[in-house]
Chain A
Amino acid sequence: MSATEPKIRNAATEVLQRAADNISRIILGKDEQIRLALTCLVARGHLLIEDLPGVGKTTLAHAIAQVMGLDFQRIQFTSDLLPADVLGVAVYDRERSVFEFHQGPIFSNFILADEINRATPKTQSALLEAMEESQVTVDGETRDLPQPFFVIATQNPMHQIGTYALPESQLDRFLMRLHLGFPDREAERELLQGEERRDMIEHIKPVLDGVQLISIQKQAAGIHVADALLDYVQSLLEFTRNSPMFEFGLSPRGGLALLNSARALALIDGREFVLPEHIKQVLPAVVNHRLVNTSDELEIKKQTAADFISASVPVP
């Protein structure tokens, strides 16, 4: 985004910029994805990263956690992982004759749910429900998860035997889905020459902590959205609902996701209000995984949902 206006340098923007800079020193050549991942975090959403193994999904998650100063838990999803392994379990304490709850790994600020599609649907939905409600119910007792709470799930897009790809209805719970992709030649060279990324993460200094993050999230939620842009979001939603390209249009939740992400991006961008460009920039990450392209026309099939939508709906 080119500068059209001296940007308002507020503390939140500056901190987030510094976080982005720090992360991009580790994940090379992926500035856009890093920006969107931070947007997702600031918009209090959860992130799904879908890509092949070895492109740095886990590294990215780790780096974000480190920079944000959040306590980090990694859950490797496997086919024998049970809901209790994620949420926690109540164990009988013989001496005190009571059940004591042992918190599962989900009770932390930042979860990396690695290869989520390898777990059974039962375990998947235990995680997704926790994500949705920010709380966990075990044995009839409801426990709040710590705040801020952020989940990055990774999924291998290849169809493998013994995996359970998340259905569309579950994908909807992720605010954004990102693809990392291979680094370009230059970045890859640097990667090959440089030191081990995992070690580098250890040395990143956190730029903020959980309390600050919560205040930034609140600030983002207060970013102004003009009526004209609400019209724009509604036109986008309406378009997806009327277009024969998609089986179903975007849900109201999809609309809110779009709006909140755009607000967060505007904050990162140092704006006091949302611009149409912010909506258009978050559009691919927010809507592509929520829409099923059913068009049988090759020309349309080739486009992503977001390209198709933003090409078709005029900016107010």
Chain B
Amino acid sequence: MVTNNHRLTTKLTPVLLGIHVVAIPLYPHLPLQVLLVTAVLTLWTLLIISGRISQPGRFVMLLLTMMVLAVLMLSYGTILGQQPGSAMLLLLSFLKLFEMKSARDIAIVIFMGLFLIASKFFYSQSLLIAIYVFVVVVYLTSLLIVFSDRLGTTRFKARMYKSLRMIIQAVPLMLILFVLFPRIPSPLWGVPKDAVAATTGISDEMSPGSINRLIGSGEVAFRVKFNGDPPTRSDLYWRGLVLSNYDGRTWRLENAPAEALPLLVPSGDEKSRYRYIVMLEPHNQRWLYALETMVEYEGQLAVTREMQVLTRSNVIDVISYNMRSDIKAENRGLFEPERRKNLALPAGLNSESVSFARGLFKNSNREDRTYIGNVLKHFSEMGFKYTLSPPLLGENAMDEFLFDTRRGFCEHFASAFVYLMRAAGIPSRVVIGYQGGAMHPFDDYMIVRQSDAHAWAEVWLEDEGWVRVDPTAAVSPTRIEEGIEHAGLERGLLPSILISDNVIIQRARFMWDSFHNNWNQWVVGYNRKRQQELLEMFGFNNATSSDLAMWLVVSMTLAGSLVAWLVIRRESIKQVDIIRLYYDRFCRKLERAGVPHRSNEGATEFMARVVKIFPANKQELAMITGDYEHLRYGGVEDENRVRRYMRAVRRFKVKG
């Protein structure tokens, strides 16, 4: 027992390594205490492996388990949920290493590892994670091979190769399951709610600095595939949220009641209509981005009176949605409460700005349009500067920005513009979202990055409804027409993907993005709809779940038969088929009689063993064995002998 245990523990190093490999992506998410426990348990295991200390007893194990649970409770306040759950599994895997008694215990740890590795997909479903998971699964399978091999004979390279071969052999079955398995809409399964903890992206409020914080990120916000040509760059306003409430520093949402619907007037001009699919990266928020002005959508979405598009729950998977936008459509709805809301200003602040607005409005003959033009002219001619590193602003932020610093990013201009409008009595509000997007150089979709984040304004004109005005365009027209990387901003603050001059790296990045996009569409985003589309491509229309289940069973059976056929064929090519098959039959008869043939035993050896047990059969045994050896190893073909041999095997019965 002791030696047996010792023998097992010395083999634990690869298993320990396996647990760590599984846990690598988990580590950044773990609290410090849990990491410390991990380190202590690892050291302890290493000491056991080296034989310096023995495995802890039952009492110590109990204490350790309680301690681990206590640490988890302290760190998370619970042991339920996705993160504490994975942490607990990880720590328990380490503890399991302390009580290895048989190969079965090791198998348990490896299975726990496989479960843990599957939970990686909670955090991310990207292609990189998939590749990583694949490698880890190959490694863990190779460990299973070692421990299920009684003699532990296979070298690292050989067993990795074997494992890889096994996994690759399983791929066709995996594909069948993936393609045909009935897709059931969440929440029955899907990513748990707490999965996407921190994501970059626009938040639901705007204060100075909140947009330019995003500019340094080259991360993809969403990808768009247009049905036909995309609009020109300066029309690419991706509307996200509308912010109406201003407290002197921060703009916030203040939505109309949900039952109030927008009042849209389409332009009727086919040329201004665009049909497209957006593939949105998870941003853990409810709103979606749509090209202004969205007039048609598919699926269960809600559109607010402010023309914000909302889903039912936060976006934690890559999702895609079909839309149609009319860039000239008008939004004509304004109730009285909305007018009041979009004129409200915090009292007692920025008096200088207010009087400036009133003066300018008066000079503009109280004409809304003239006034707007004058304000934009003020921005473009009075030395305002578009910059990623604006100076900090104090209590009267608007006054300081307008008359003192005059340096700001889009949120400053949008904010100041709306402020000046409201001060002059024109209803107006801030819109945040993305502006621009770059066509993929060799794939036909557009990439919109976090660095395209933008804020602009909307003003209410009695005869046109809500009209978009982008004050940034007055300060830096190139930002809107050519994109952020051409707007003369500080290059060091822009993401490298936008400004890199290395053609090869750029190309590689775009290729990776293409890859990633396909992965998102066909693997991560493979839902019921995609499944139907794919099956329609093969001519199966309107497949129900039970149809799918049936096809699944049929194709699995077919695949299984194919594999079985291949195996049998390979075996029969290797062996003199009928002779060997009959010998197997002979062995089965003896096995039923209680004398199984050992795989490493020659026919004569086997016979010698059998004769001792069933001496009465000696003659038949000798004949069958002799014929078998002749036919199988003798290299001479003899029809009569084959017949005699087959007959003898058929008639063979154990006597006594």
Same assembly: yes
Are B600 and A311 interface neighbours, CB within 8 A?
yes
Chain A hits for B151, CB < 8 A: 243, 300, 308, 312
CA distance A228 to B573 in the complex (A): 11
Query: Among A242, A277, A308, which residue has its beta carbon within 8 angstroms of that of B605?
Result: A277
Chain B 604-616 per-residue mask, 1 if CB under 8 angstroms from chain A, else 0: 1101100100000
B105-152, CB < 8 A from A: 151-152
Question: B219 within 8 Å of A by Cβ?
Answer: no
Given the known interface contacts A244-B155, A300-B151, A316-B574, the answer about A277 and B602 at a Cβ–Cβ threshold of 8 Å is yes
Chain A hits for B153, CB < 8 A: 239, 242-245, 312
Question: B542 within 8 Å of A by Cβ?
Answer: no
Count A/B pairs, Cβ under 8 Å.
86
Chain A hits for B622, CB < 8 A: 3-5
Chain A hits for B476, CB < 8 A: none
> For residue B11, which residue of chain A has the nearest CB?
A297
Question: B632 within 8 Å of A by Cβ?
Answer: yes
A188-211, CB < 8 A from B: none
Question: A280 within 8 Å of B by Cβ?
Answer: yes
Question: B647 within 8 Å of A by Cβ?
Answer: no
Chain A hits for B10, CB < 8 A: 296
B596-645, CB < 8 A from A: 599-605, 607-608, 611, 622, 625-626, 629-630, 632-635
How many Å from the CB of A231 to the closest CB on chain B? Answer: 7
Q: Which of A3, A229, A244, A300 has the most CB of B within 10 A?
A: A244
Are B632 and A228 interface neighbours, CB within 8 A?
yes
CA distance A275 to B604 in the complex (A): 9
Q: Which of A277, A298, A300 has the most CB of B within 10 A?
A: A277
Are A273 and B633 interface neighbours, CB within 8 A?
yes
Are B634 and A224 interface neighbours, CB within 8 A?
yes
Chain B hits for A297, CB < 8 A: 7, 152
7 closest A-B pairs (Cβ-Cβ)? A314-B599, A276-B602, A5-B626, A277-B602, A226-B633, A243-B153, A4-B626
Question: B154 within 8 Å of A by Cβ?
Answer: yes
Are B635 and A226 interface neighbours, CB within 8 A?
yes
Interface size on A, residues (CB 8 A): 35
Chain B hits for A310, CB < 8 A: 600
> For residue A313, which residue of chain B has the nearest CB?
B600
Chain B hits for A308, CB < 8 A: 151
Query: Among B575, B604, B611, B630, which residue has its beta carbon within 8 angstroms of that of A316?
Result: B575
Chain A hits for B155, CB < 8 A: 242-244
**Residues in A lying within 8 Å of B, measured CB to CB:** 1-5, 224, 226, 228-229, 231, 239, 242-245, 272-277, 280, 296-300, 308, 310-316
- A-B residue pairs in contact (CB < 8 Å), sample of 23: A2-B608, A3-B622, A4-B622, A5-B622, A5-B626, A5-B629, A226-B633, A228-B575, A228-B633, A242-B153, A243-B153, A243-B154, A243-B155, A244-B153, A244-B154, A273-B629, A275-B633, A276-B633, A277-B604, A298-B3, A310-B600, A312-B151, A315-B601
Are A315 and B600 interface neighbours, CB within 8 A?
yes
Question: B576 within 8 Å of A by Cβ?
Answer: yes
Are A276 and B603 interface neighbours, CB within 8 A?
yes
Question: B392 within 8 Å of A by Cβ?
Answer: no
CA distance A243 to B151 in the complex (A): 9
> For residue A274, which residue of chain B has the nearest CB?
B633
Q: Which of A4, A231, A311 has the most CB of B within 10 A?
A: A4
Are A275 and B600 interface neighbours, CB within 8 A?
no
Query: Among B7, B158, B611, B632, which residue has its beta carbon within 8 angstroms of that of A226?
Result: B632
Are B629 and A275 interface neighbours, CB within 8 A?
yes
How many Å from the CB of B635 to the closest CB on chain A? Answer: 4
> For residue A316, which residue of chain B has the nearest CB?
B575
Are B634 and A2 interface neighbours, CB within 8 A?
no
> For residue A296, which residue of chain B has the nearest CB?
B10
CA distance A274 to B630 in the complex (A): 10
> For residue A3, which residue of chain B has the nearest CB?
B622
Are B634 and A273 interface neighbours, CB within 8 A?
yes
CA distance A5 to B630 in the complex (A): 10
Chain A hits for B158, CB < 8 A: 242
How many Å from the CB of A71 to the closest CB on chain B? Answer: 38
Chain B hits for A274, CB < 8 A: 633
Are A272 and B634 interface neighbours, CB within 8 A?
yes
Chain A hits for B3, CB < 8 A: 298
How many Å from the CB of B603 to the closest CB on chain A? Answer: 7
CA distance A245 to B153 in the complex (A): 7
How many Å from the CB of B581 to the closest CB on chain A? Answer: 14
How many Å from the CB of A247 to the closest CB on chain B? Answer: 12
How many Å from the CB of A127 to the closest CB on chain B? Answer: 36
CA distance A38 to B594 in the complex (A): 39
Are B599 and A315 interface neighbours, CB within 8 A?
yes
> For residue B151, which residue of chain A has the nearest CB?
A312
Apart from A224-B633, A226-B634, list 5 A-B contacts with CB within 8 A.
Answer: A4-B607, A5-B626, A243-B153, A244-B153, A312-B151
CA distance A224 to B635 in the complex (A): 7
How many Å from the CB of B608 to the closest CB on chain A? Answer: 5
Q: Which of B10, B575, B632 has the most CB of A within 10 A?
A: B632
Q: Which of B7, B574, B607, B634 has the most CB of A within 10 A?
A: B634
Are B576 and A228 interface neighbours, CB within 8 A?
yes
Are B600 and A242 interface neighbours, CB within 8 A?
no
Are B600 and A314 interface neighbours, CB within 8 A?
yes
CA distance A167 to B625 in the complex (A): 42
Chain B hits for A277, CB < 8 A: 602-605
> For residue A276, which residue of chain B has the nearest CB?
B602
Are A273 and B604 interface neighbours, CB within 8 A?
no
Chain B hits for A231, CB < 8 A: 574
CA distance A66 to B137 in the complex (A): 65
Q: Which of B10, B600, B622, B630 has the most CB of A within 10 A?
A: B600
> For residue A300, which residue of chain B has the nearest CB?
B151
CA distance A299 to B7 in the complex (A): 10
Query: Among A228, A300, A312, which residue has its beta carbon within 8 angstroms of that of B600?
Result: A312
Chain B 56-70 per-residue mask, 1 if CB under 8 angstroms from chain A, else 0: 000000000000000
How many Å from the CB of A103 to the closest CB on chain B? Answer: 44
How many Å from the CB of B165 to the closest CB on chain A? Answer: 14
Chain A hits for B154, CB < 8 A: 242-244
CA distance A4 to B629 in the complex (A): 10
> For residue A238, which residue of chain B has the nearest CB?
B158
> For residue A245, which residue of chain B has the nearest CB?
B153
Are B604 and A2 interface neighbours, CB within 8 A?
yes
Q: Which of B158, B602, B634, B635 has the most CB of A within 10 A?
A: B602
CA distance A229 to B632 in the complex (A): 10
Are B602 and A4 interface neighbours, CB within 8 A?
no
How many Å from the CB of B582 to the closest CB on chain A? Answer: 15
How many Å from the CB of A5 to the closest CB on chain B? Answer: 4
Are B602 and A315 interface neighbours, CB within 8 A?
yes
Chain B hits for A311, CB < 8 A: 600
> For residue A315, which residue of chain B has the nearest CB?
B602
> For residue B159, which residue of chain A has the nearest CB?
A242
Chain B hits for A242, CB < 8 A: 153-155, 158
